[in-house]
Amino acid sequence: MLSESHRQTLKELALASIKHGLAHGRPLKIDLSTLDQELTVIRATFVTLQKHGQLRGCIGMLEAHRPLAQDIAENSYAAAFSDPRFPPLTEDELNDLNINLSILSPAEIIPCHSEEDLLQQLRPDIDGLILDDGMHRATFLPSVWESLPDATDFVQHLKLKAGLPINYWASDLLAYRYTTESF
């Protein structure tokens, strides 16, 4: 768990990267040498933007490959300007923007042989879920449980997000779980 001051620093970096994107068309470059070590550890993150309680952008990485602060800056910029579901953010929207940051634990496979098996192993409100069927891959962050509290609905909607039929199951479908520290 990050300290409150580290969380605040990351929130400030996220907003600064979005503002930098508005002014310069690219994410804020982070000088990692100026940050505490906890903010430079290699971590995977998601940045979710909301405007008036509605999704406005969400971009992230499922696998860690950048320092935490850099991942936040890059994903904040991408959520604001590169989420294909939304037009690029405008300066007029900044004051109404809520920025949510999620730091992911490493994903672990859920050994399951059927959808029923998967459903029994899921931990609502705790698990993020990745479904991977080769060409079809999607994830829901743990926060999605708020809008889809039933495990069956959660899994079926994730299958749709991955481009799979709602009743799809295959022996080689992989399921992974992860948790998040969200703020």
124 and 175 inside one domain? yes
pLDDT in tens, 100-119: 999 999 999 999 999 999 99
The domain total for the chain is 2
90 and 52 inside one domain? yes
* Residue ranges making up the domain that contains 80: 4-104
CATH number at residue 133: 3.30.1490.150
Token pair of 181 as six digits: 């520290």
Buried b (16+ CB within 10 A) or exposed e, 15-47: bebbbbbbeeeebbebeeeebeeebbeebbbbb
97 and 25 inside one domain? yes
130 and 66 inside one domain? no
pLDDT in tens, 78-99: 999 999 999 999 999 999 999 9
Task: Give the pLDDT mean for 123-149.
Answer: 96
Q: pLDDT-based confidence at 69, cuts 50/70/90?
A: very high
10 and 100 inside one domain? yes
Last residue of a domain, one of 52, 70, 104: 104
pLDDT in tens, 6-37: 999 999 999 999 999 999 999 999 999 999 99
CATH number at residue 11: 3.30.700.20
164 and 81 inside one domain? no
36 and 82 inside one domain? yes
Q: What is the pLDDT of residue 30?
A: 94
116 and 50 inside one domain? no
For all residues of the chain together, what is the average pLDDT? 96
Q: pLDDT-based confidence at 64, cuts 50/70/90?
A: very high
Q: What is the pLDDT of residue 166?
A: 95
Last residue of a domain, one of 104, 137, 165: 104
| Collapsed DSSP state (helix, strand, coil) of residue 174 | strand
92 and 38 inside one domain? yes
